[in-house]
């Protein structure tokens, strides 16, 4: 291929390389072979020059600022040899030369050779042109890291030919979302079928759901099923230090997408640029994030009929923070909930990821799915990987059921800290504390099944733990079930009071969770007979069960705030008294299980169930305080 046949960017890069090579060659020759660029004159010490002056051997001298060049007297009318030396600070030199009758003068300005002229006038412009060509090549297509590319879109493009193509078969547990997005795929494949009857496909689809539920994976699957280019970018990549750079990137992204239509633009973490402008503190549109959002709104409105095959998918786990202008019909017309999977969904997800590892014959993925309620797709992927790592660490060739169970505990409670050695007193307190949780949880009607009791420290601060798993997926909880949960949380503190007559700091996390749950019962769920069915928490909270979001209270009067505090205290104190009553009624069993766990440190499985089956509720438990 000749130079003319090469693409423009390749040709520019070739020219830049040639110019760099020429400049480097001239500089190298000038440094290594200076004699090629002028007549070489031998250099002598200054002391020798003075001796030759005193001996009358010098005929003329040219005194320069940095160098003295002089001519020796020749023999029989022949020209003498030229020598040079480096001058020193010598004020007596002119008097010496004049006393000896030596002709001397100041040296004329140095004259560059033709090679020096080339180096001084030709090479620097060539280097400048080469550097300019280099930066233009980087900005034009050399990647988003180019110095001149801060206004270029940083979107990554995935095409159908990619080896790691994702389809709907790679996504599980979100069947409703897949069915909703299947229509988008059909439109991208056969747009004329919809246009023929006047239907308009949604321009924007917003994927909403908790973190780790597979929103990004689902968007890639849509592109993979449709077989169209897929532009992927995070919302934070639009925002730059320079005001206007984000808006320029939005324009560049949509221009690239229109050239490759039909295609999909996927914006992850849309809330990074799409937050509500109300109360942002910036007026007049001078905020970089606000300008970026305005440009995005303009681009979403600017699709013409020919550009309708560019579909924008976006994902966020905070839809309540988005600007209302972004969610109106005509922009993001449709919101698709990508929620945490149920039991069947978790089983399908486990089957997808487990197909990539070697499983032992005893592995029952349904049991694993049953033990992982509330796990999102990313959590299950991490669980499978942890199980595989455990098997490899223990020199096993296949992953066993025990590896999965240990991986669940690692994800839920953290790593074992056997190096954290407790003294005998602390170990005894932890044992009674965890058995207290287990006994109360075992007799509570709304509680889950206690799977394991351990006094081996795990994670950052857990000195022991009780593993309690729900027997089924739950989406609604009654008031009595919430009270039972609070009672179970306070079982550890109650056991410390009964056995030791004092309390420790070990129940701090239990108290925090119990208080938070009681406060939500009063302020969010309206489960207070005194305050009635009123919500005292601020609105705009997500609908995901167990997301842990705690919204501040509304502005309430002092009397109402006092009533809320009294109701929260009543709920927690009633649960506390109930836990005390249960443990006092089962005091012998509490002692038996605690002594056993002090010996073996871990009790689980059938042995634990046989012990907990002997626990009984007292005939009378406090209903209210």
Active site residues: 434
Contacts of 569 (CB under 8 A, 6+ apart): none
C-alpha dist (Å) from residue 589 to 436, 535, 582:
10, 42, 11
C-alpha dist (Å) from residue 508 to 19, 513, 515:
71, 9, 11
Give dist(CA 538, CA 523) in Å, integer: 9
Residue positions counted in the chain: 625
Q: State the DSSP H helix or E strand holding residue 158, giving kind and residue range, or none if neither.
A: strand 156-158
Give dist(CA 144, CA 465) in Å, integer: 49
Contacts of 339 (CB under 8 A, 6+ apart): 174, 209, 210, 213, 544
**Which among 519, 459, 491, 512 has a CA at the least distance from the CA of 583?**
491
**Which among 405, 347, 402, 408 has a CA at the least distance from the CA of 377?**
347
Q: Are 597 and 509 in contact (CB under 8 A)?
A: no
Give dist(CA 364, CA 381) in Å, integer: 16
Sheet holding 58-63, edge to edge: 82-85, 68-72, 58-63, 103-106
Backbone angles phi, psi at 363, to 5 degrees: -75, 125
Structure tokens at 591: 């002692």
Q: With the C-alpha atoms ordered 156, 158, 162, 165, is the resulting torsion angle positive or negative?
A: positive
- Mode of pairing for the β-strands spanning 310-316 and 263-268: parallel
Structure tokens at 227: 């077989």
Backbone angles phi, psi at 12, to 5 degrees: -65, -40
Q: Are 61 and 97 in contact (CB under 8 A)?
A: yes
- Local structure of residue 355 (DSSP, 8 states): T
Give dist(CA 116, CA 111) in Å, integer: 9
Q: Are 435 and 597 in contact (CB under 8 A)?
A: yes
Give dist(CA 52, CA 230) in Å, integer: 84
């Amino acid at each position: 291929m000749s130079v003319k046949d090469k693409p423009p960017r390749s040709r520019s890069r070739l020219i830049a390389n040639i110019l760099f090579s020429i400049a480097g060659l001239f500089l190298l020759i000038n440094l290594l072979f200076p004699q090629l660029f002028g007549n070489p004159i031998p250099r002598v010490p200054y002391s020798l020059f003075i001796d030759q002056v005193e001996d009358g051997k010098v005929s003329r001298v040219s005194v320069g600022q940095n160098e003295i060049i002089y001519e020796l007297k020749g023999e029989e009318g022949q020209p003498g040899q030229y020598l040079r030396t480096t001058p020193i600070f010598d004020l007596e030199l002119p008097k010496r030369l004049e006393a000896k009758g030596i002709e001397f003068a100041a040296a004329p300005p140095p004259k560059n050779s033709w090679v020096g002229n080339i180096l001084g006038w030709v090479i620097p412009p060539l280097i400048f042109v080469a550097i300019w060509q280099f930066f233009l090549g980087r900005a034009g297509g050399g990647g988003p890291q180019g110095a001149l590319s801060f206004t270029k879109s940083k979107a990554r493009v995935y095409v159908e030919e990619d080896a790691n193509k994702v389809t709907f078969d790679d996504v599980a547990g979100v069947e409703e979302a897949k069915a909703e997005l299947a229509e988008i795929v059909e439109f991208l494949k056969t747009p004329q079928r919809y246009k023929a009857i006047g239907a308009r496909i949604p321009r924007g689809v917003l994927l909403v759901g908790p973190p780790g539920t597979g929103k990004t994976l689902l968007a890639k699957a849509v592109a993979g099923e449709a077989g169209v280019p897929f532009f992927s970018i995070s919302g934070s990549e639009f925002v730059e230090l320079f005001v206007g750079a984000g808006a320029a990137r939005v324009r560049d992204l949509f221009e690239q997408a229109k050239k490759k239509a039909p295609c999909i633009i996927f914006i992850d973490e849309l809330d990074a640029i799409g937050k509500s402008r109300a109360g942002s503190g910036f007026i007049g549109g001078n905020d970089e994030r606000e300008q970026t959002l305005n440009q995005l709104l303009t681009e979403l409105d600017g699709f013409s009929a020919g550009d309708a095959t560019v579909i924008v998918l976006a994902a966020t786990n905070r839809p309540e923070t988005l600007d209302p202008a972004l969610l109106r019909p005509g922009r993001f017309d449709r919101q698709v909930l990508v929620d945490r999977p149920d039991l069947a969904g978790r089983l399908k997800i486990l089957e997808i990821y487990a197909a990539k590892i070697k499983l032992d014959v005893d592995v029952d993925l349904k049991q694993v799915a049953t033990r992982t309620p509330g796990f999102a797709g990313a959590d299950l992927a991490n669980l499978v990987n942890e199980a595989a790592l455990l098997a490899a660490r223990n020199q096993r060739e296949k992953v066993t059921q025990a590896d999965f169970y240990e991986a669940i505990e690692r994800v839920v409670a953290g790593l074992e800290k056997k190096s954290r050695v407790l003294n005998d007193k602390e170990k005894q307190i932890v044992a009674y504390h965890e058995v207290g949780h287990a006994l109360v949880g075992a007799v509570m009607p709304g509680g889950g099944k206690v799977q394991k009791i351990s006094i081996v420290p795990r994670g950052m601060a857990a000195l022991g733990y009780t593993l309690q798993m729900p027997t089924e997926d739950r989406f609604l909880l009654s008031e009595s079930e919430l009270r039972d949960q609070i009672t179970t949380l306070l079982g550890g503190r109650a056991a410390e009071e009964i056995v030791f007559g004092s309390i420790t700091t070990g129940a701090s996390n239990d108290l925090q969770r119990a208080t938070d749950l009681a406060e939500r019962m009063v302020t969010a769920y309206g489960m207070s007979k005194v305050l009635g069915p009123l919500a005292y928490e601020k609105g705009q909270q997500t609908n995901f069960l167990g997301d842990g979001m705690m919204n501040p209270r509304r502005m309430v009067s002092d009397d109402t705030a006092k009533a809320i505090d009294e109701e929260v205290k009543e709920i927690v104190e009633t649960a506390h008294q109930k836990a005390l009553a249960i443990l006092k009624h089962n005091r012998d069993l509490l002692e038996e299980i605690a002594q056993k766990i002090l010996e073996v440190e871990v009790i689980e499985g059938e042995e634990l169930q046989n012990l907990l089956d002997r626990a009984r509720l007292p005939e009378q438990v406090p209903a209210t305080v």
